[in-house]
Amino acid sequence: MQKYDIELINISKSFGIVKANSEISLSIAPGEIHALLGENGSGKSTLMNILSGIYTPDEGIIKLDGSEVKFNSPSDSIAAGIGMVHQHFKLVDVMSATENILIGLPGGLFIKPKKATREIQAVADKYGLKIDLSKKVYEMSVSEKQTVEIMKVLYRGARILILDEPTAVLTPQEIVSLFGILRNMKASGCSIIIITHKLNEVMEISDRVTVLHKGRSIKTLVTSETDMTELTTLMVGKPISLEIKRTDAAAELIKPLLEVSDLTVLNADKREVLDNMSFTLSSGEILGVAGIAGSGQKELCETIAGLQRAASGDIIYKGQSIIKMNPRDIIKKGITMSFIPEDRLGMGLVGGMSVIDNVILKKVQMQKGIIVDRKAGKKAAERMIERFGINTPSTHTIVRKLSGGNIQKVLLGREIEMNPELLITAYPVRGLDIGASYNIYDILNEQKSKGVGILFIGEDLDVLLGLCDRIMVIHSGKNMGIVDAKSTTKEKLGLMMLGQRPDDMAS
Amino acid sequence: MFRIVKRQDMSSRYSTLLRIGSIFAALIFTALIIILLGYNPLQVYAKIVEGSLFSKFRITQTIHKMIPLITLSLGCAVAFKMKFWNIGAEGQFYLGALGATYIALNYGSLPPYILLPIMFVAGFICGALWALIAALLRTAFGASETLVTLMLNYIATNIIMYLQYGPWKDPEARGFAKIARFSPNAWLPTIFGVQSGWIITLILVVLIYFMFAKTRLGYQIQVIGENTQTASYAGMNVNKILIIAVILSGGICGIAGMMQASGVEHSLTYELSAGLGFTAVITAWLARLDPLNIVIVSTLFSVLLQGGTYIQTALQVPSSIAGIIQGVILFFVLASDFFVNYKIIRVKKETPDAAVSFDEGK
Ligand SMILES: Nc1ncnc2c1ncn2[C@@H]1O[C@H](COP(=O)(O)OP(=O)(O)OP(=O)(O)O)[C@@H](O)[C@H]1O
Ligand SMILES: [Mg+2]
């Protein structure tokens, strides 16, 4: 009989009327990388939160090396050698990597820093993690922060690592290096559970994969004996096509919409985060933006949306300059611009309010009279839930209680239902399951053929190539060039993302 | 070994039960203190109820505390909803009373139906302006409104004291430092034996409830309280809405001051508020900023305050027992909040001593 490190047996967990997990069983072998796959809201995070001691299951037992254990808190599960890296990091910004790793340990920050640093470095070297231990968290990129989170877990001696959508926020290069680390860990006997929505990652990294559907475990498969089609079918419950279509808008709809010229934006340290950037976007067009995370994507979106001030340059929307306008002015001018920012709960949504109250957020600014029209809001919310397949117990549910992907859909739904002329969207499918992602691509195409101009900040090059008309590549705030998506290649985009200009390359 | 652990999955029914339970726990705990002090707790509690409710006069007295307390709590709640920590209800109360008094003393011959509305407006404006100082300092320089409003309280009482002993001292009071009594035209009429301010207070309760449940402004205030970034993203003018809310908050507190001066004292003294402006911060908070809860909590606290003065004369028990009960209730409710978010578990010996662990989890 196979010996398992961990066995979850018949785990059930409900939140009020929502059955997040029902009778799920899952076992993890030593030295195994096990992928968890399932649609948004299928209960993946909940199950892993149970395993890491954050939630207690209503029913079912957890066995560790064959004997039953009860986790009352995350420290219990850490003590048992299980560590989880959440999708939303929990680091202290003003502290260094070392301090963040030590905090919360018995003795905590009083441990001798030199000795601790040496020990941490030793662990990092063992698994091949690259980490600057003295760097402060607020100076770190997302992937560095993730490395600190992983270090934190490893330093506590975890031999079972849980990663909740770790690749959602990483660039392709960073994913490669993360997978390298995971393989090293596996080689030294650790087990890893990884949640991801990207099937190619499942195929690449995992040994076995378990598919969840609506809170139930559908099947556990050996990865090498399955394929993407089988996995999607199991996950969604029916076969779906994994092809991105590119539609074309009627020629008469294509008109100049947005013109950005010589745009320069400075950050708080007076450094150029956008450096003399110029480009145009027509209606009925999807302009992709590719670039390593932190190359100025956020600043570009926010400056167009009126949330950041430019140092110089101009933004012309249908002939009028909007560079000096804030979101309020933009709305007042009758410009219908939708913006889907990257950090949804930080900007865009109000986590503590209901779905309805989030749906009406922008309408309230435009409506006449002093009474908030929640009746219309409820209708709009119901329509949106239907159209985008949002999984929520009701329209009154607090948004923060939805699953990661469903939170995302609330924002996306609201912005698209506004029927904008210009749609700015940063990583719209981040955290969405396959079905939902393809649904979003379809919707973007549908918007485009209606004449909407779309600025699509993307990360997956295949998606950018398949969906966009043109792709602008940015590198440290500079426009490296705009290429035709139909004729360019991934390799070319990759080089441009690293700072080469297309005309410098031998074609 | 016990350990504190963060909870993630508290049901709302359980948390309501916990809160109600905590009030009972507070009463039991105070009973123990009363026993230690050598009195009979049942008798003390009975007398508190008796002293606040068992005669027409006492009920009137209780209501005279309830009216300002509810009004002040409402004022606090409006600011608290947007996480503007206005703890200056006391100062705004006095400034409102001051504005109304100025009108009453100088235009006392106007007929009541003209004079009283002007006094209301003066009370609102003065209270609002006093709160506005803190709002402007915050929007312009990022000054902490908590500190500013707190300090403005002391300035306000000192202004009143100065007026009472100086320029506004009534020459006909035979040497007593008193501000003159208002002419009867400036008295709020009584209805059913109590000052008619309760009508205004009830209207305010309904209005504020309505504002938060239904109106744009109420919605915007709540969005800003939750997430300023999202508010500006949605096109809200955050500073403008903040200032409007603070004006409302201070103005409502000012009206409380006006009503107390005009309806109860018929004059102004530097003890007019009896500290209710500070109590209101607590009641607003205990009521979770909900207008209907504010009515309930303020009523309970008024009974305690009024009963507290009564037990002093009836049982020779120090009235500070009422203060103790208030403090203990606050403490217990805050503690119950803690238990909504955390649980304490027993750990068996073999689990390693991983100490307090609320840095884990979210
Ligand atoms: N704290 C909570 N309170 C109420 N409901 C919750 C809570 N956490 C999760 N849920 C509900 O449980 C269900 C499963 O959520 P979970 O977060 O486990 O999904 P998931 O598989 O991780 O989805 P995603 O891919 O979108 O992250 C969802 O319907 C969600 O709304
Ligand atoms: Mg999740």
Q: What is the pLDDT of residues A438-478, one digit of tens each?
A: 888 988 999 999 999 999 999 888 899 999 999 999 998 99
Q: How far is B31 from chain A (nearest CA, A)?
A: 35
pLDDT greater than 50 at residue B362: no
Task: Report the domain count for chain B.
Answer: 2
- Between CA A416 and CA A424 the distance in angstroms is 10
A411 Cα: distance to centroid of ligand 1 (angstroms) = 17
Mean pLDDT of B136-162: 94
Q: How far is A116 from chain B (nearest CA, A)?
A: 18
Work out whether strand A320-321 and strand A312-317 pair parallel, antiparallel, or are unpaired: antiparallel
Contacts of B222 in chain A (CB under 8 A): 353
Does any domain span residue B264?
Answer: yes
Whether residues B220 and B114 share a domain: the answer is yes
Judge if the beta carbon of residue A274 lies within 6 A of ligand 1: no
Whether residues B311 and B325 share a domain: the answer is no
Q: Residue A258 to residues A166, A316, A355, A477: CA-CA distances in angstroms?
A: 35, 6, 32, 19
Judge if the beta carbon of residue A435 lies within 6 A of ligand 1: no
Residue B65: CB partners within 8 Å, gap ≥ 6? B274, B276, B302, B305, B306
pLDDT greater than 70 at residue B3: no
Contacts of B11 in chain A (CB under 8 A): 16
Query: Would you state the structure tokens that stand for residue B217, as one six-digit string?
Result: 């402004």
Does any domain span residue B205?
Answer: yes
pLDDT greater than 90 at residue B343: no
What's residue B1's pLDDT? 55
pLDDT interval class at A505 (50, 70, 90):
low
A178: amino acid identity, one letter: L
pLDDT interval class at B4 (50, 70, 90):
low
Work out whether strand A422-426 and strand A453-457 pair parallel, antiparallel, or are unpaired: parallel
What's residue B359's pLDDT? 36
pLDDT greater than 70 at residue A108: no
Judge if the beta carbon of residue A22 lies within 6 A of ligand 1: no
The SS3 of residue A89 is coil
What's residue A21's pLDDT? 94
Question: How far, rounded to the nearest angstrom, does the alpha carbon of residue A72 sit from its chain's CA centroid?
Answer: 29
Ligand in closest contact with the CA of A18: 1
pLDDT greater than 70 at residue B12: no
Give chain B's count of helices (H) and strands (E): 13, 4
What's residue B351's pLDDT? 39
Of these ranges, B37-41, B199-203, B327-331, B358-362, the one predicted with the greatest mean pLDDT is B199-203
Whether residues B105 and B72 share a domain: the answer is yes
Does any domain span residue B209?
Answer: yes
Ligand in closest contact with the CA of A42: 1
Whether residues B310 and B321 share a domain: the answer is no
What's residue B294's pLDDT? 94
Does the reported pTM lie above 0.90?
A: no
From B217, B234, B353, residue closest to A327, measured CB to CB? B234
Half-sphere exposure of B152 (CA within 13 A, CB side): 29
Does any domain span residue B130?
Answer: yes
- Between CA A43 and CA A55 the distance in angstroms is 13
Q: To the nearest whole number, what is the mean pLDDT of chain A?
A: 88
pLDDT in tens, A185-216: 899 889 999 999 988 899 999 999 999 999 99
What's residue A111's pLDDT? 64
What's residue B209's pLDDT? 96
> Counting atoms of ligand 1 from 1, which one is nearest the CA of A47?
18
pLDDT greater than 70 at residue A507: no
Whether residues B185 and B100 share a domain: the answer is yes
Q: How far is B309 from chain A (nearest CA, A)?
A: 42
* Beta carbons of A49 and B8 less than 8 Å apart: yes
A38 Cα: distance to centroid of ligand 2 (angstroms) = 10
Closest chain B CA to residue A301: B233
pLDDT greater than 90 at residue B190: no
Mean pLDDT of B93-103: 97
What's residue B128's pLDDT? 98
pLDDT in tens, A9-36: 999 999 888 899 999 999 999 889 999 9
From B9, B215, B230, residue closest to A370, measured CB to CB? B215
Chain A, residues 180-239, CB within 8 A of chain B, namely none
Query: Which tops the pLDDT comparison, B115 or B350?
Result: B115
What's residue B358's pLDDT? 36
> Counting atoms of ligand 1 from 1, which one is nearest the CA of A212?
21
Whether residues B289 and B144 share a domain: the answer is yes
Does any domain span residue B179?
Answer: yes
- Between CA B45 and CA B28 the distance in angstroms is 11
Judge if the beta carbon of residue A470 lies within 6 A of ligand 1: no
What domain range includes position B328? 1-39+317-349
> Residue whose CA is closest, atom 19 of ligand 1?
A41
Which has the minimum average pLDDT: B8-17, B123-132, B185-194? B8-17
User: What CATH number does residue B294 fall under?
Assistant: 1.10.3470
Judge if the beta carbon of residue A18 lies within 6 A of ligand 1: yes
What's residue A506's pLDDT? 54
pLDDT interval class at B350 (50, 70, 90):
very low
A214: amino acid identity, one letter: K
Does any domain span residue B196?
Answer: yes
Q: Is A55 on the interface with B (CB under 8 A)?
A: yes
Query: Which tops the pLDDT comparison, B191 or A222?
Result: A222
Query: Which tops the pLDDT comparison, A128 or B293?
Result: B293
pLDDT interval class at B91 (50, 70, 90):
very high
Work out whether strand A6-15 and strand A18-28 pair parallel, antiparallel, or are unpaired: antiparallel
Task: Please choose from A46, A54, A392 the residue to mutate so as to test ligand 1's pocket, defined by most ligand atoms within 8 A of CB.
Answer: A46
pLDDT interval class at A72 (50, 70, 90):
confident
pLDDT in tens, A155-168: 888 889 999 998 87
Q: Is A393 on the interface with B (CB under 8 A)?
A: no
A339 Cα: distance to centroid of ligand 2 (angstroms) = 23
Nearest Cα to Cα of residue A131 among A119, A118, A144: A144
Work out whether strand A59-64 and strand A256-266 pair parallel, antiparallel, or are unpaired: unpaired
Whether residues B201 and B263 share a domain: the answer is yes
pLDDT interval class at A314 (50, 70, 90):
very high
pLDDT greater than 90 at residue B277: yes
pLDDT greater than 60 at residue B77: yes
- Between CA A331 and CA A363 the distance in angstroms is 10
pLDDT in tens, B221-252: 999 999 999 999 999 999 999 999 999 999 99
Q: Is B354 on the interface with A (CB under 8 A)?
A: yes
Q: How far is A419 from chain B (nearest CA, A)?
A: 16
- Between CA A464 and CA B68 the distance in angstroms is 63
Whether residues B311 and B324 share a domain: the answer is no
What's residue B352's pLDDT? 37
Does any domain span residue B52?
Answer: no
Q: How far is A341 from chain B (nearest CA, A)?
A: 10
Judge if the beta carbon of residue A391 lies within 6 A of ligand 1: yes
Note the residue count of chain B.
Answer: 362
Whether residues B202 and B287 share a domain: the answer is yes
pLDDT in tens, A318-341: 999 999 999 999 988 888 899 999
Of these ranges, A22-31, A290-299, B9-18, B37-46, the one predicted with the greatest mean pLDDT is A22-31
Which has the minimum average pLDDT: A215-224, B44-53, B304-313? B304-313
What's residue A478's pLDDT? 92
- Between CA A149 and CA A85 the distance in angstroms is 6
Where do we find the tokens 């590198």? A475
Whether residues B239 and B251 share a domain: the answer is yes
Does any domain span residue B259?
Answer: yes
* Beta carbons of A73 and B217 less than 8 Å apart: no
Residue A482: CB partners within 8 Å, gap ≥ 6? A279, A287, A470, A471, A472, A473
The SS3 of residue B62 is helix
Q: Are A25 and A10 in contact (CB under 8 A)?
A: yes
Q: Are A5 and A65 in contact (CB under 8 A)?
A: yes
Whether residues B164 and B194 share a domain: the answer is yes
Q: Is B348 on the interface with A (CB under 8 A)?
A: no
Give ∠ CA A130-A131-A135 in degrees, rounded to 5: 155
Query: Which tops the pLDDT comparison, B68 or B14?
Result: B68
Q: Is A90 on the interface with B (CB under 8 A)?
A: yes
Whether residues B250 and B289 share a domain: the answer is yes
Which has the minimum average pLDDT: A39-43, A500-504, B222-226, B305-309? A500-504
Query: Which tops the pLDDT comparison, B102 or A119?
Result: B102
> Counting atoms of ligand 1 from 1, which one is nearest the CA of A215?
14
B118 Cα: distance to centroid of ligand 1 (angstroms) = 56
